[in-house]
Structure 1
Amino acid sequence: MKKIQMRAAYVVEIVTPKKFILNGLWFGPKKPKRVIIWIHGLGSSMFGKLLIADELVDHETAVLVFNNRGHNKVASVSGVGGKRIKGGAAHEVFTDCIDDIEGAINFARHAGVKNIYLAGHSTGSQKSAYWGYKKGKRVKGIILLAPMSDYSAATMLSGKRAVTRAAEVARKLVRKGRAHDLLPADVWDWKLLADAQRFLSLYSGESVEELFPYSQPHKNPTALKKSRVPTLVLLAEKDEFADRPAKKIAEWFDGHIRAPHRVVIVPKVPHSFKDGEKEVARAIRQFLRPRKTQ
C-alpha cells in the first residue's frame, strides 16, 4: 500500500493593502527566526513546490506559501466587502503582484518575524524581482528560481511569427477597451490561455514584466540593476523554457545584477526542479547564512 504523505501546517488568510484576500499555508514554527515567502509561478498554486518547502523547514525556519492572484488558469479573486476581480494566469495584472507580496510580508511581520526572504519560482521570480525594484525594503534577500524570459520561451516554442500575430490581435483588443477578453484559440494556443493585456505583458517582450531580457541584447534590465536586495539565482540546467544553455543565462544574470548575489546552476533538472529539491534547498540554506562583514 502506498504511503500517505501528510504535512502539518497552519491555514492562514492574507489581506493585502488593497483589501484582497489570499489563502495560504504556514509550514514550520509559529515564531521562527526567519520565514521564506514563496511566490508561485504562472498558473501554479501554493501547492506547487511543497517538496522544496519540506527541505527548508526546521526549528528556526518557516515557509509561507499562498495563492497569489495569478493562481491556476482562471480564478476569482475575492476581497473584503464582497468585491471580486478576475484572476488566474489568464487574467491577472502583473503589477498587482506588489499588493500580493506586500500583503504576505505584512502577514509575516505581524507574526513577529523580522528576517523575511522572498522566493519566486518561474513567473514568481519576475514578481519577486519587480517587488525588489519597486519596494526593496523589509526583506533580507530574494531568491529567483528558474527566472526565464517568457518572451524568449514563447518565441522558441511557438515561433516568432505566431507570437507577433497574437500580439497584434491583443493590441487591437486593448485599443477597443477589451483588455480582459481572452485571445481566440485560433490565434493563441488554448493551453496557454491569456487575455489581451496578460498576453502582452508576458509575451510582447516590451512590458515591465520582461525583467530578464537575455534574448534581447539591446534591452537594459533596469529593474534588475537597480535592486539592492541580496539575490540568489537558481537555474535549472535542463530548463525546457530556456532558449540557450543555462551557463549563458547564468553569465547574463551575473553581469547585470548589481546587488550582492550568487548564481547557481542545479544540474540535470527541468524547470520544475523535480528531483533536485535537496540541491535547491542546500543552496538556499547557504544563502540564508549571515554574511561576513568586511
Structure 2
Amino acid sequence: MPLELVRVTTGDGLRLDGSLRRSDAPADGGLVDAALLVHGTGSNFYGSTLMDAIESRLVGRGIAVLRINTRGHDGISTSATMSGGVRQGAAYEVLSDCRHDLAAWIAFLIEQGFSRLLLAGHSLGALKACYAMSEEPHDAVRAVAAVSPPWLSHARFLQSAKGAVFAETYALAKTLVAAGRGEELMQIEFPLPYLVSARAYLDKYHRDETYNVLALLPRIRAPLLAVFGGQEIQQNVAFRELPQAMEQLAAAQALPIEVGVIAGADHFYASARDELAARIDRWLRKQ
C-alpha cells in the first residue's frame, strides 16, 4: 500500500498538500472507490491518529484514501501562492473558503481515475464537508461521513452556561474588526480554547449562523452518516442535543441521514477509534 505525497492548487491560488494511499486489496465494487479525509481545527493531513484508524479500515477493503490539508491546517501556517506567502491556519481561515479546498481535492481524485467518493471529516472538518456539499454539491461525492460536526449556533452559545464569556469575546472581536484590526489575534476560551483572529472569530460564530449544521443538511444530496461521542455530547454545548436535533430533522424532511452515538467516546474517540472506523465501514456497506 504505497503512500504518495500529493499537492493541489485551489481555484483561488493556494497550494495545499496531502497524502494518497492506494489499496492493494481488491475493490469490492461498493458505493465508493476512494475516500477524502478532512482534518479538524488546527490539525493537518498527517497528524491525526483518529484518521489513521479510518484510513486503515478503508484501505483494507479496497478503498483508496486521500488525507488532505485545507487552508485551515495547523494553528498558524503560511500558504504558498503565485504572489507569495499568505497567512492561513485555524487562526485566520474564513470557513466558507473550504469549498475551494475541497473542490480542488475532489478534482484531483477524479484526475487519478476515481469516480465514487466518500467525503469524511472530523470536528470542523466534518462541518467543512457539510458546508461544501450544501453549497457546491458534486456528483462524484456519493456519501458524506461527519464525525463530531460542531453546532455553531450563536443563539445557543449565548444561552449556554458560558454565554457571558461568549458575548464578551464576540463584542471584542466586533470592536477590533470595526477598528480595522481584524487580523489581530485573540486568545479565546469559548467555544474552544485557541488563538484566532478577530475576523475569523466573527466569521465562524456570527449571529447569522452561516455554518449552523442543521441549516446545511437539507441541501446535501448524498447520504450522510453523523457520529458523535457520548462524552462530548454531555460535556460540550457545541454537541449537546445535536444528535437528537439531526434525527428529528431527518425524519421531518425525509433526509438520507443516519445518526449514531458511541457511548463513552470523547471528541477524539481516544478509546473508540476502531469502533468509529467499523461504524463508518458498516454504514458504507449498507448504502
The Cα of 1:117 is off from its aligned counterpart by: 1.1
State the partner residue of 2:127. Answer: 126
Match of 1:28 in 2: 22
- Describe the SS at the equivalent of 1:10: strand
State whether residues 133 and 223 of structure 1, in contact with CA within 8 Å, keep that contact through their aligned partners in structure 2. yes
CA contact (8 A) 2:3 2:20 kept: yes
The one of 256, 262, 267 equivalent to 1:271 is: 267
Alpha carbons of structure 1 residues 115 and 146: separation in structure 2 relative to 1, 3 Å: same
Q: What pairs up with 1:188-227 in 2 under 5 angstroms?
A: 188-189=188-189, 191-209=193-211, 211-212=212-213, 221-227=214-220
CA contact (8 A) 1:142 1:231 kept: yes
**Is the Cα contact below 8 Å between 1:201 and 1:207 reproduced in 2?**
no
* Equivalent residue pairs, number: 271
Indicate the percent of aligned positions where both proteins have the same amino acid.
Answer: 23
Check whether the contact 2:5–2:19 (CA below 8 A) recurs between aligned residues. Answer: yes
How far did residue 195 of structure 1 move? 0.4
Q: What do the CA deviations read for 1:106-155 (whole angstroms, capped 9, x no partner)? A: 11000000111110110111111111111122200111101122458966
Q: One-letter code of the match for 1:124?
A: G
Whole-angstrom CA distance in 2 between matches of 1:52 and 1:270: 16
Distance 2:159 2:232 in 1: 13
Give the corresponding residue for 1:216. none
Residues in 1 aligned to 2:182 and 2:5: alpha-carbon distance in whole angstroms: 34
The aligned residue for residue 172 of structure 2 is: 169
User: Counterpart amino acid of 2:19?
Assistant: L
Q: Distance in 2 between matches of 1:156 and 1:108?
A: 42
8 Å Cα contact 1:148/1:242 also seen in 2: no
**Alignment correspondent of 1:3:** none
Aligned-partner residue type, residue 165 of structure 1: E
Q: Per-residue deviation at 1:29? A: 2.7
Q: Which of the numbers 249, 255, 278 marks the counterpart of 2:248?
A: 255
What is residue 237 of structure 1 aligned with on the other side? 230
Q: Which runs of 5+ in 1 are unaligned?
A: 1-6, 213-220
Looking at structure 2, the residues matched to 158 and 69 of structure 1 have their Cα atoms a distance apart, in angstroms, of 32
Equivalent residue letter for 1:142: V
Structure 2 CA distance, aligned partners of 1:169 and 1:17?
33
* Structure 1 residue 83, shift from structure 2 partner: 2.9
Identify the residue that residue 285 of structure 1 maps to in structure 2. Answer: 281
Partner of 2:80: 78
Q: CA deviation at 1:58?
A: 2.1
TM-score, length basis structure 2: 0.85
Using the alignment, how far apart are the partners of 2:61 and 2:229 within structure 1? Answer: 28
Q: In the alignment, which residue of structure 1 is the partner of 2:37? A: 38
Q: 2:96 — aligned with what?
A: 95
User: Shift of the alpha carbon at 1:156?
Assistant: 8.9
Q: Which amino acid aligns with 2:148?
A: A
State the 1:166 CA deviation. Answer: 1.2
Q: Secondary structure at the match of 1:262?
A: strand
| Counterparts of 1:245 and 1:38, CA distance in 2 | 21
Aligned to 2:111: 110
The letter for the 1-side match of 2:33 is: R
Matching residue of 1:65: 67
Contact 2:232 2:265 in 1 (8 A): yes
Higher relative contact order (CA 8 A, sep 6+): 2
**Structure 2, gaps ≥5 residues long:** none
Alpha-carbon shift at residue 100 of structure 1 (Å): 0.5
Cα distance change, pair 173–226 in 1 and its aligned pair in 2 (3 A): same
Please list the CA deviations of residues 28-57 of structure 1 after superposition, one character each: whole Å capped at 9, or x if unmatched. Answer: 338966111011111111121223222221
3-state DSSP of counterpart to 2:266: coil
Query: Structure 1 residues 44 and 245, CA, compared in 2 at 3 Å: closer, same or farther?
Result: closer
Deviation, 1:290, is 6.0
1:19 Cα offset (Å): 2.4
Q: Distance in 1 between matches of 2:55 and 2:175?
A: 42
Q: 2:8 matched to 1:14?
A: yes
Is the contact made by 2:230 and 2:261 (CA closer than 8 Å) also made in structure 1?
A: yes
Contact 1:170 1:199 in 2 (8 A): yes
Amino acid at match of 1:22: L
